[in-house]
Copies of this chain bind each other. A is one copy, B any other.
Amino acid sequence: MAGPGEFELIRDYFSSRFQPDAESTSQGTGVELGIGDDCALLIPPAGKMLATSVDTLVAGVHFPENADPYRIASRALRVNLSDLAAMNAEPLWFTLALTLPESSDTWLEPFARGLADTAHQFGITLVGGDTTKGPLSITIQVTGACDKPLRRDGAGDGDIVFVSNDLGAAAAALPLVLGQMNGSERQQQLADAAYYFPEPQFGTARAIGEYASAALDISDGLLGDIGHICNGSGLGVELYLEKVPQAELVAEIKGNGADALEAALTGGDDYQLCFTVPEKHLAAVAGLQLPLTAIGRMTAERGVRCMLNGEPWQPHGTGYRHF
């Protein structure tokens, strides 16, 4: 009865795309009651902890205002899924609080499609939401099931610091994504993938879950984020910058000098894992045959100390500043 309001928006664009299918009945997903009541009703998996995280993406701050809505949805959900991965949790449910300036079919249709495609790919179910009128922003809260959590506060003195895959792609991608620079077709593709389709590192988290003493996802840049492991664990770290793996796009856009290094060290949005491994588990981690690189060592001395080819090195920035 409430006219073309939030109820219709949610129902039309989201409910229909997030109906439980044959594979994911209420038993399978633990969803007793999904979108449309005062609350969703959820049955948590027996004997497991729940891991939950919330992130807001604001237009013009966390993504370009006029970006493709399909890609905005992909990025928004993947960024949140990365927090589950970093905790070594398996995706269960998410909610969407969407604030948008106007109820526009041309925006909502691709956005909902992007959200549904991403949710399907990672096996997570939309269970509730809210739609309000205002400047475009997207708040997603993800919940997962967790057996062996990877916390930030478990690193030990002497543990080796690893990162997954390579760093700096999203930072290098930014001028291409914002249209401030024209790249080759391949560079545009790499930039698009890095910025809008970052890969939550579920597989890596699962593999290192037995061995890692602490972990997080690199969302605000390696040098800023590793400080959280240091603070949480009451330690410091020594990083060997020449070992930090740089993404292909970094060399393409930033060259091979200080700019490239800065992108890999302080650029945010890569969502790779940074984690620590005690000496006794190093052989097991090497045996995983995953693209993991040792880049430093936790130390009793506090602070983040950077060495480049044996010389102390001082970065210009330390990560993304939110204010």
Contact = CB atoms under 8 A, between A and B. Distances in A.
Given A44-B44, A97-B139, A103-B323, A130 B56 contact: yes
Interface string A97-130: 1010011000000000000000000000001111
A276 interface: no
Contact of A83 (B33, B39, B216, B228): B39
Interface in A50-100: 50-58, 60-62, 83-84, 86-87, 89, 93, 95-97, 99
A206 to B, nearest CB: 15
A1 B319 contact: yes
Contacts of A58: 99, 132-134
A318 interface: yes
B33 A42 contact: no
A1 B227 contact: yes
A223 interface: yes
Interface in A200-257: 215-217, 220, 223-224, 227-228, 232
A164 interface: no
A137 B54 contact: no
Given A42-B52, A54-B130, 9 more contacts: A2-B224, A2-B318, A2-B319, A3-B318, A5-B323, A6-B323, A38-B84, A56-B97, A130-B139
B224 A61 contact: no
11 contacts: A1-B227, A1-B318, A2-B319, A2-B321, A37-B152, A40-B51, A41-B87, A42-B52, A52-B93, A95-B141, A135-B135
A230 to B, nearest CB: 8
Nearest to A153: B37
A149 interface: yes
Given A133-B323, A135-B134, A141-B95, A232 B36 contact: yes
9 closest cross-chain pairs (CB), A and B: A1-B227, A39-B51, A58-B134, A44-B44, A38-B86, A39-B87, A2-B224, A5-B322, A6-B322
Copies of this protein chain in the complex: 2
Interface in A16-31: none
A151 interface: yes
A131 interface: yes
B33 A41 contact: no
B61 A134 contact: yes
A146 interface: yes
A99 B97 CA distance: 13
A12 interface: no
